[in-house]
Structure 1
Amino acid sequence: MPTPAAPPTLARTLRLPSLVIFGLAYLTPLIVLGIFGVIASETGGASASAYLIALVAMLFTANSYGRMAKAYPVAGSAYTYVRRTIDGRVGFLVGWATMLDYLFLPMVIWLIGGSYLQAQFPAVPMPVWILGFILVTTLLNVIGIKVADRVNLVLMAFQILVIVFFVVLAFADVVRADGGAGLVSATPFTGIDVGFAGIAGGAAIAAYSFLGFDAVTTFTEETIEPERTVPKAIMLIAIIGGGIFVVVSYAVQLVHPGGVFENSDTAAYEIANRIGGALFGAVFLAALVVAQFTSGIAAQAAGSRLLYAMGRDGVLPKRVFGALNARFQTPVLSIVAIACVGLIAIFMDVATSTSFINFGAFIAFIMVNVSVIVYWAKQRAAGTHLNPLLYLAFPIVGVVVIAALLVQLDIHAITLGSIWLGVGIVILAVATRGFRRQPPELAVDSVE
């Protein structure tokens, strides 16, 4: 009798360069220009310092993601790491907080794209652009066309090319105005009449640019030697991405010292027209809109898959969220739900919306750091002695730094995020009959 065929498994084909390219593409490097004006306004022109602080914070957290990826070399997430090291109920709350990213990230992406298009075409009201983004991306996701999370190399190269031109033109503008000496200045780091609290507040917003640096953990089961490769990739993505953000914000801040703009949401477009003329302004706008459009498709697809996974597992109403459309084989109702959430963009600004997204991310980052500390303690109790610098000191610093950024978020974002977390606690209490049993397991690991 023939032996039954083994179930298919993911092939290990990815190496370090592939993971790093994917991670950088997921970050969407052009976003540093997309939200430049918001951060410059918040920091009084010290945007380079804001990104530097955010980079340092991310490096400690990147170390913790790397430690967990090494300990659990499976397709993972903050939810998975917390569930395996601490408790399923705590993991549920971390997963619930992470849902803020999945559900509201498309909204922020569409809002940024709409803001720049409205600046170019002021006669067209902002809601029209936002509705356009929502309708087109929703239609594509419903019929199953995958522009995909894996942003292709061509788009990545286009973004990098535009960024390089932006920096070169910015430096050239400074040299024309002030000579070569103008290229060296502390102003992009110190700002104008701003204290540390203002810079820290800007860093809390700047952290939005780093969201997704941990996304390569979802490819752990497709990576060659994941215990070594994934931690390296996470750290390299954070360092390279952060380096791009600091250099770009420094260059642009040299051209426009301070944080006063006609419209902070679209400041980079104004500067692009100044340093490169209308042609470069148009190229920059096209690059930004394309980047936001493709990112929005991927983010909406990922969010809908999370809702589908939770519906399939019974965490959310199964008939609504746990069903696939018979014709398109896509979670249509979940996709539409993300689109409805995106309508909130009509009533929000970029600063508040990015802060709201960061609330959920910061909760996840803090708990991943805590997971590493708990893992270190458990291994030590079992007789295994891990490096205390990497598994104890760095995660502790990560917790402190991320917590400091968390309290610097917009007060409205903190309030909304706290309400969201409170709703999660109520759901957890009901699902676990007063926290007495483990909650249903979220299939977050399978979300793509």
Structure 2
Amino acid sequence: MSPARSGPHAVHIPGRAGAAERAQARHTDTRRTFPPLPPRAAPGDGTALTWWGNAWVDALEDTALDPARLARGRAYADRGHVDAITVTPGRVTAYVHGSRPRPYRADLRLRTLSEDEWEHFVETAAARPEHLASLLDKDVPHALAAAVDLLPAVDDLIPDCTCPDRAEPCKHAAALCYQTARLVDEDPFVLFLLRGRGEQELLADLTRRNATHTARERTTAAAPAPDSVTAREAFARSGRLAPLPPEFPPPAYPERPPSYPQAPGGPDPLALDLLATEAGIRAHALLTTGADPTGGLTPWQDAVRLAAAHPGAGLTAATRALYAALSRGTGRTPADLARAVAAWRQGGLAGLSVLEEEWDPPAGPFDRARPALLAAGRPEFRPRRNRLSTAAVQLRLGRDGRWYGYESDPGREDWWPRGEPGPDPVTALSFLLGEG
């Protein structure tokens, strides 16, 4: 159960009740402003109290390339250098005081959920009374968070800052991320707002759905049992078998499996949930399309697909265990799997092939790529087979005809997939640099 809270919107901060009440007047359902959080009593103790708060911090730390900037950002947060924080759908904003007199404006962006994703989330939550009770108590069950991409995954958090440091994140954006983790830790409805739904709208929708489910269950329970006869009696009357009834229509989408509790000596609940979910998805695809979408994958490709499809993969202790198990089963390292997951999320099976395969493209699009980049004012790229490289940026031509962006620290040759694939090298480079 989550710690006690003083109200539905404001985070309780000792000694700042007046500021919290003034900020409360500025709150709307889709815009919440929190007063500056006080310095930590024990600097450096950034451990969150909840699993979703830790997932938020891990999303930052797993993506950052410079641990030193993270350490400075944590120190800024611990000392209370972050001003009031404003949360709106898809964005967190605050001014952060650095070494100069004028503070910098830092932002964090996060993808909002689509209407279909919210529909699935609300329906899943309303269908289980224990899920609704947990949300009202401001607790987030693991199974409910897995219904959609609620928690930030690797590369989901996009930092920005007005300071001259181009690192992602800079120390000011990192400080904002650590302070936001404290807000999310205290009130998960901050995370729901970031994903696109305010607390009042979400709770009202959950209440309506729950009432609908309750009425449906009562109607079903009160309905009289249909008349029936035994199969032997039916056959004896007619002397022949009756035609089979029509098949039930397939559901619109595969349902989530039930939650499996942890039992001493029993199977891992996460593994059971994953296996049951995968079985339901494949069965639904076979029922509706007649084809198995994963039947042609190799064990390694399927392991990458599983890790990439798992919400928040690689963040919490449970999902780190998933990475470790999939890595052991395929003879790879967790780092290999993490890089492959980034490629899969970039372009699916084609993106994974681009990561793992060098090939010699035919004359044509590849030969025209360097002149096109130079004509667009881009720096000189070095060609090698299907790849064009600078010291820190690389473009790879896939067999599907699309260009895929990669980044590395200069001089390290440690290339990681970044951005979206594009139909031409100039577009792909724009996506990679965040200009698209």
Smaller-chain TM-score bracket: under 0.3
Tell me the TM-score normalized by structure 2: 0.24
Tell me the TM-score normalized by structure 1: 0.24
When you count strand as a share of all residues, which structure comes out higher?
2
Question: Which structure would you say has the larger RCO, counting Cα contacts within 8 Å and 6 or more residues apart?
Answer: 1
Q: Choose 1 or 2 for highest CA Rg.
A: 2
